[in-house]
Amino acid sequence: MNAVTGTGIGASVRRKEDYRFITGQGTYTDDINRPGQLHAYFVRSPHAFAKIKSIDTAAAKASAGVVAVFTGQELAADKVGGLICGWTVTGKDGTPHKAPPHPAIALDTARCVGDQVAVVIATTKEIARDAGEKIVVDYDVLQAVVDPVDTLKPNAPQLHAEAPGNLCYDWEFGDRASTDAGFAKAAHVVKLDLINNRLSPNPMEPRVAIGEHDRATDTTTCYSTSQNPHVLRLILCAFIFGLPEHKVRVVAPDVGGGFGSKIFCYAEEVVCVWASRKLNKPVKWTSDRSEAFLTDAHGRDHVTHAELALDKDGKFLALKCSTIANMGAYLSTFASCVPSYLYALLLAGQYTTPAIYAEVKAVFTNTTPVDAYRGAGRPEATYVVERLVEVAARQLNMDPAEIRKKNFIAPDAFPYQTPVAVAYDSGQYELSMNEALKMVDYKGFAGRRAESEKRGMLRGIGFAAYIEACGIAPSAVVGSLGAGVGLWESASVRFNPTGSVSVFTGSHSHGQGHETTFAQVVSEKMGVPIEQIDIVHGDTQRIPMGMGTYGSRSLAVGGSAIVKACDKLIAKGKKIAAHLMEAAVDDVEFDAGMFKVAGTDKSVPIGQVCFTAYVPHNYPADLEPGFEENAFYDPSNFTYPAGTHIAEVEVDPGSGHVTIAKWVAVDDFGNVINPMVVEGQVHGGVAQGVGQAMLEGVVYDKASGQLLTGSFMDYTMPRADDLPNFDVGMTHTPCPHNPLGVKGCGEAGAIAAPAALMNAITDALGVEIDMPATPEKVWRAAQGKVRALAAE
């Protein structure tokens, strides 16, 4: 840590932003109200699949206070582009995925409950909603299909003419021949069918969009709850409206959580922007929680068959899996890459498995679109690998820790080229696991299990030795895989004349704590206390073009851009300092905020150098004034955080209630900027993973396609009392290819937790069950074990 400031790298500084959040003084998008603002209410399809025969808007239009009513026809007439998918996945047959038209308001067909059918714009929200209820839509209701397996059946309802058989893509990855060879020589083959349950993201703040058009400058502003304002601007300009980017500004102020669901460009943003331009008035839409359940992109929803081949000693020979991934009714912004590249490339896990083959069918159903959700593909991959490994240990009667250690990639094998394209940067997997085993008192487990059984309880322990690919991503690599964007990040570091610092980042903070951790990075680099450093993000008019926050990328990519900009400032500062001290530039060193002439007691503080740059009365003749630098950073590789989580549970076989008795997480995120913030990220991620494993699950009625989990009355969000105390440890294997040596921590908990918890619960039960492990499911599964114990 920087000794001068005490607020540099490694310090558990309290989050600067929390004062305004905790005291209710944040400025969220819904807190923004523009003069003359109108309100939008969307009429949504009550049917999962229906032809729209006619829409009668007359009564709504005639209502007092209603300014306009629009349907998809008006958007089409104005040539408003449909929503896009920004990543093209190429299938086995060499053809690109099917991305059927996705109009912001349905034209002639509604394909899921909640699909936009019309919008009412009125002077108040209530008037808009009242008028919306007066719109009469004549539907021809069609049979819907919601299940990803059912939708592939020959007689299934067909969603899109452009996607025959409801197939978006049929994709494969890895070497089939070498994988088959691995299975051919296997002593053991472990097979497992898994469902990765569909999740509703439920950030605390629902989505909001405001469009505001300024006739004087012909500029439109979109205030939005976005994780990546520049990406949203790019889509709105280049694909939806055909506008030059300088005529559109996107502002994403304080954002109350996203978990991926606020990456995407949604219909409501398109409609509010378009309507504000059409009506020359600001137009605002605020989602309520019911709309959030229906329209925020969901996560996961895989059906998988997986197999692991092992030799007689438990060494992994090959892994293959076949997955059907539900895309929902339309292809969302980055949906296609989630169950393909973000999934199959992680199937090596922490292991030396030499051959891997995966095939994925992405399918359309009459459900809300599915896209990236905390972890995005990587939790699904870890779930496949770590459930398979655990079951393999059970079937081979091996210790689950030992079978993993036997197959770990050794610490001296890095960089390690996996058989699924990616090359891991660094790792010490056994170190993390040993630490976790110690923390959980693995040796004492048998005793604890016996003690539980005495009380009629079933105890289980479960492991997840996870890996993820973060720091997304090297632009050339993702480009070669079909991405339509580069995934570098930008930063601008501006010293103000009196020495305070404004840092402009293309990353976006919606709960991650960037205002603190990024300031710590600058504090460390430049020797300035963090009180003097302001982190600016979330406004395309203020920040350089940036790619936003997702995929645990902000620090590894965005933070590295900040470091690059700081290094440029230090280099310039040395020239100024050399001039002031009448020394050679090469003799000037910079440390902890002081420029010094090596081997002398001559020094000038950075504040003086900065002031001199703005008041260049005594200044190098060939140097530009000013103390501000920009940098763009494109990573050379992904980062590969990894670690071991161990869950220990006690199951009450009488009621099916599961108590999480212990949770040990030992993560390796490389270097850590703020341990307290990182621990918080682990806690939150584990909470979401526990939610997926035991509590959450989107349920649709198969016959009608209705969403049955449309509110918190039926969708089980994790609560504090569902969660244990988290015992968090860390190992630190720095990332070798970025200047901070950091790997990213935002998604790890959500990636590790489902597998660890399901391994623990199924260990207690003695049978395999799917997520979510609800009380009834656990109770039913427990009865065999109860009988077995009684017979003993």
Partner 1 sequence: MYAFNYHKPKSLADAQALVAKFPDGKILAGGHTLIPTLKQRLAQPTDLIDIGGLAELKGITVSGSTVSIGAGTKHGEVADSADVKKAIPALAALAALIGDRQVRNKGTMGGSLANNDPAADYPGAILGLGATVHTTKRAIKADDFLKGMFETALDEGEIITKVEFPVPKRAAYEKFRNPASRYVMVGAFVAETASGIRVAITGAGPTAYRWADAEKALGAKFAVASVEKLVHTSNGLNADIHASAEYRAHLITVMTKRAVAGAGG
Q: Which position has the token pair 């995934």?
A: 487
Nearer to partner 1, 423 or 767 (CB): 767
Nearer to partner 1, 130 or 268 (CB): 130
Nearer to partner 1, 133 or 451 (CB): 133
CB of 211 to partner 1, least distance (A): 26
Nearer to partner 1, 616 or 775 (CB): 775
Structure tokens at 636: 């050379």
CB of 697 to partner 1, least distance (A): 9
CB of 126 to partner 1, least distance (A): 8
Cα gap 221→217, rounded to integer Å: 11
Q: 540 with 251: CB under 8 angstroms?
A: yes
Cα gap 597→549, rounded to integer Å: 40
What single-letter DSSP state applies at residue 87?
B
CB of 663 to partner 1, least distance (A): 19
CB of 112 to partner 1, least distance (A): 19
Sequence-distant (6+) residues with CB within 8 A of 768 are 192, 391, 762
CB of 290 to partner 1, least distance (A): 7
CB of 696 to partner 1, least distance (A): 9
Nearer to partner 1, 127 or 436 (CB): 127
CB of 124 to partner 1, least distance (A): 12
Nearer to partner 1, 11 or 707 (CB): 707
Cα gap 739→619, rounded to integer Å: 31
Q: Radius of gyration (Cα) for the chain, nearest Å?
A: 27
Cα gap 397→183, rounded to integer Å: 20
Q: Provide the 3-class DSSP secondary structure of residue 142.
A: coil
Residues that bind partner 1 (CB under 8 A): 126, 129-130, 133, 290, 654-657, 695, 699, 708-709, 712-717, 719, 774-776, 779-780
Nearer to partner 1, 74 or 770 (CB): 770
Closest C-alpha to 329, from 640, 570, 109: 109
Nearer to partner 1, 17 or 130 (CB): 130
Task: Give the alpha-carbon dihedral of 779, 785, 791, 792, to 10 degrees.
Answer: -130
What single-letter DSSP state applies at residue 28?
B
The type of residue at 265 is C
Nearer to partner 1, 684 or 772 (CB): 772
CB of 369 to partner 1, least distance (A): 22
Which residues is 536 bridged to in the sheet? Answer: 504
CB of 468 to partner 1, least distance (A): 28
Nearer to partner 1, 652 or 667 (CB): 652
CB of 147 to partner 1, least distance (A): 15
Task: Give the alpha-carbon dihedral of 732, 735, 741, 744, to 10 degrees.
Answer: -80
Q: 300 with 261: CB under 8 angstroms?
A: no
DSSP track, 420-472: TS-EE----HHHHHHHHHHHHTGGGHHHHHHHHHHTT-EEEEEEEEEE--BS-
Q: Provide the 3-class DSSP secondary structure of residue 509.
A: coil
Q: Which position has the token pair 């077995």?
A: 788
Nearer to partner 1, 704 or 774 (CB): 774
Nearer to partner 1, 153 or 289 (CB): 289
Nearer to partner 1, 602 or 780 (CB): 780
Cis? peptide before 154, omega within 30° of 0: no
Q: E strand or H helix at 665, and its extent? A: strand 658-668
Q: 728 with 753: CB under 8 angstroms?
A: no
Cα gap 760→527, rounded to integer Å: 47
Cα gap 372→264, rounded to integer Å: 9
Sequence-distant (6+) residues with CB within 8 A of 18 are none
Q: E strand or H helix at 590, and its extent? A: strand 588-591
Give CA separation, 87 vs 227, 611, 698, in Å. Answer: 18, 46, 26
CB of 486 to partner 1, least distance (A): 42
CB of 787 to partner 1, least distance (A): 15
Q: Where are the alpha helices (DSSP H) in 156-288?
A: 176-184, 229-235, 267-279
Q: Provide the 3-class DSSP secondary structure of residue 560.
A: helix
DSSP track, 392-411: HHHHTT--HHHHHHHHBPPG
CB of 206 to partner 1, least distance (A): 14
Nearer to partner 1, 285 or 466 (CB): 285
